[in-house]
Amino acid sequence: MKKRLVAVVVVGVVLLSLVAGMVSVLSGPGGDLARGRGTGTVAVISITGTIVSGRAAPGIFSVQTGSEEVIARLRRAAEDPSVRAVVLRLNSPGGTASGAQEIAAEVDRLKAGGKKVVASMGDAAASGAYWIACRADRIVANPGTLTGSIGVIMQVQDMQSLYNKLGIATRTFKSGPHKDMGSPSRPVTPEEQQIFQGMVDDIYDQFLQTVAGGRKMDLERVKSLADGRVFTGRQARELGLVDELGNLQDAIRVAGRLAGLGDEPRVTDLSPRGLWSGMWGGTALSGWRWRPETQTAIWLLAPLCLPSGPGNNNIF
């Protein structure tokens, strides 16, 4: 009887939490966040969780931001004459290289159109998220923000011994010698290791060029910082990876000044809105969730956020 009562209470608490979360999300800000002086506005666009190319996959215990969602909002800001600047609120460990590249390219187009862009870092803005941030006119981070993680890592799993113990035999029919490259049912050959390393090196070079161009830093200087390590916001400022320390409101003030709107500009929320991201974003439940369709993606993630999943074959 007591166990049944406890179960009912637990279920009730969960249901109430879900309802409260839905109410919070559905009634959350979707237009003006605050009103300042003047007619121009600063638009805030949030990038939360793992960054992926295309549309984010829904998930109860994961938060993703798809490049299509962010690009749509960036273009909305570009087409709105009242939007004079955009603040990208980043709270992400990174994501796929292609997803970060697509958003970064749109940021470059927005700047080319005369809009100012400021990156505001929350808990984390590492790896692929830093790829995006470094294209902004200014970067504002909290002293305790985790950022940096400039680098690429690839992991493949050799599960042949496990398969043998389980009595699992794999027969592969392929059109070329490297079509099953990275398969967990066999070891990586020396030639394939060179191919994989070449992919890692190429993405790494692209990352270096992006940071050097965005931060206007010497390439060799960027290389000295790009060993994959994570920096705090304060360390990043001292190293030139971040411009100043502050929170979202400070970033909005910076954007207002850059756009000639003063210290208290009008602010409009253009963030992608999703039920689960609104409910779980920023919590311990918002980590990376493995999906079969992403197992061969090229990823850029902070070391502590490396995913694990059956048969993954990923670059981070």
Task: Please tell me whether residue 31 adopts helix, strand or coil conformation.
Answer: coil
Task: Quote the DSSP letter at residue 38.
Answer: S
Give me Rg for the CA atoms of the chain: 22
Complete DSSP assignment for 260-314: T--SS-EEEE-----HHHHHHTTSTT-S----GGGTT-BEEE-GGG----TT-EE
Backbone angles phi, psi at 236, to 5 degrees: -65, -35
First to last CA, the chain: 50
Q: Give the pair of three-digit tokens for residue 159.
A: 């599960």
Rounded to whole angstroms, the Cα distance separating 229 from 227 reads: 6
Cβ neighbours of residue 205 closer than 8 Å, sequence gap 6 or more: none
Q: Are 41 and 83 in contact (CB under 8 A)?
A: yes
Catalytic site residue from 17, 179, 224, 308: 179
Catalytic site residue from 92, 98, 120, 127: 127
The residue type found at 258 is: L
Task: Please tell me whether residue 173 adopts helix, strand or coil conformation.
Answer: coil
Neighbours of 82 (CB within 10 A): 12
- Please name the residue that has the structure tokens 């805030």: 44
**175 noted as active-site residue:** no
**127 noted as active-site residue:** yes
Cβ neighbours of residue 264 closer than 8 Å, sequence gap 6 or more: 34, 36, 37, 253, 256
Task: Quote the DSSP letter at residue 49.
Answer: S
Indicate which residues carry an active-site annotation. 127, 179
